[in-house]
Amino acid sequence: MIMKKEDLPNEIPVFPLGNFIVFPKTTVPLNIFEARYIEMINDSMKSNKLIGIIQPRSSSNSELPPTLHDIGCLSKITSFKETDDGRYMIEVKGLIRFEAIKEINSSKGYRKYEVNYKNFTHDLSEKKEDLKFSDLELIFKDLKTLFEKRGFLINWKELEKQSLDETINALAMASPFSLEEKQVLLETKNLSVRKDKIAEILSTYTYDVFDNTTLQ
């Protein structure tokens, strides 16, 4: 079922995920074990099954809640399983990016934010962008080389069966790029700009400083 703009919540629970970035139209597994996020998932499962996943900025003071990036991804819980030791194994699907406006005071153990989606409503669209797989052949070639160099395994045949936006977002999410680079990709305006930004980032990886060979 496609999420409509008018159904988007203005206040959402947020899950600061420090080692992973979720993109729209991608599905990822998460292992939930902290008590506050167990509470968050319980509350979400009782309501709309929506949570905001956002990357924290690096913080030098671990005593304080980390400051968060401005842009995250509203995600829907699509699979839920509780383990024998009380952890939650869930899958979430990225729906639409959001801008975090301000934190809301809450008695909950987890954090909540007021958000807006005005710059990202096209994430919900099923309209195809003016891109073809042929536009991405060079990027795919360089990405395959980089993935192989870094020991990443990708099922390229399955990936190519997906829509173009799903493919680009999945590659951006699974790539061996830094979290900062992935955050830049998340914040790009649309798919075409994201494609160009991937190519730009890839150009910085085309020279391997470890063995002084170009990635061809």
Whose structure tokens read 């206040």?
A: 11
How far is 80 from 88, CA to CA, in rounded Å?
7
Strands (E), the chain: 11-16, 27-32, 50-54, 71-82, 88-104, 111-116, 207-208, 213-214
C-alpha closest to that of 146 among 76, 208, 79, 80: 208
99 by Cβ neighbours in 10 Å (0-12 / 13-18 / 19+) ranks as: middle
**Predicted pLDDT of residue 192:** 84
pLDDT above 70: residue 110: yes
CATH number at residue 90: 2.30.130.40
Question: Is 12 in the same domain as 41?
Answer: yes
- Same domain as 80, residue 29: yes
Q: Based on the fold, state whether residues 100 and 142 are members of the same structural domain.
A: no
Helices (H), 34-96: 35-46
Do 98 and 12 form a contact (C-beta atoms < 8 A)? Answer: yes
185/157 same-domain check: yes
Q: What is the mean pLDDT of residues 203-212?
A: 57
Residues 23, 57, single domain; the answer is yes
Give yes or no: residues 108 and 197 share one domain.
no
Q: 77 and 52 share a domain?
A: yes
Which 3 state secondary structure label does DSSP give 105? Answer: coil
Residue 56 DSSP code: B
Same domain? For 56 and 117 the reply is yes
Q: Which residue range forms the structural domain that includes residue 160?
A: 133-214
Number of domains in the chain: 2
**Residue 208: enclosing H or E segment and its boundaries?**
strand 207-208
Mean pLDDT, rounded, of the chain: 85
What is the Cα–Cα distance from 213 to 195, expressed in whole angstroms?
25
Boundary of a domain, candidates 59, 94, 124: 124
End position of a domain, from candidates 96, 124, 152: 124
Say what the pLDDT of residue 213 is. Answer: 38
Single out the residue of 102, 134, 84, 80 nearest to residue 14, CA to CA.
Answer: 102
Global confidence as pTM: 0.84
For residues 66 and 36, membership in a common domain is answered with yes
Residues 119 and 138 in one domain: no
The confidence band for 66, taking pLDDT boundaries of 50, 70 and 90, is confident
| 50: three-class secondary structure by DSSP | strand
Indicate the pLDDT class of residue 206, thresholds 50, 70 and 90: low
Query: pLDDT (tens digit, 9 = 90+) per residue, 141-196?
Result: 888 788 778 777 777 777 767 777 888 888 888 888 899 999 999 999 888 889 88
Q: How confident is the model at residue 210 (pLDDT cuts 50, 70, 90)?
A: very low
Greatest Cα pair distance, the chain, in angstroms, is 55
User: Do 181 and 120 fall into the same domain?
Assistant: no
The dihedral through the CA atoms of 144, 201, 161, 25 has a sign that is positive
Which of these three, 124, 150, 171, is where a domain ends? 124
pLDDT band at 39 (very low <50, low <70, confident <90, very high): very high
Give the tens place of pLDDT for each residue, 70-103. Answer: 999 999 999 999 999 999 999 999 999 999 999 9
What amino acid is encoded at 34 in this protein?
A: E
pLDDT tens-place string over residues 131-141:
666 667 777 78
Q: Assess whether 23 and 97 both reside in one domain.
A: yes
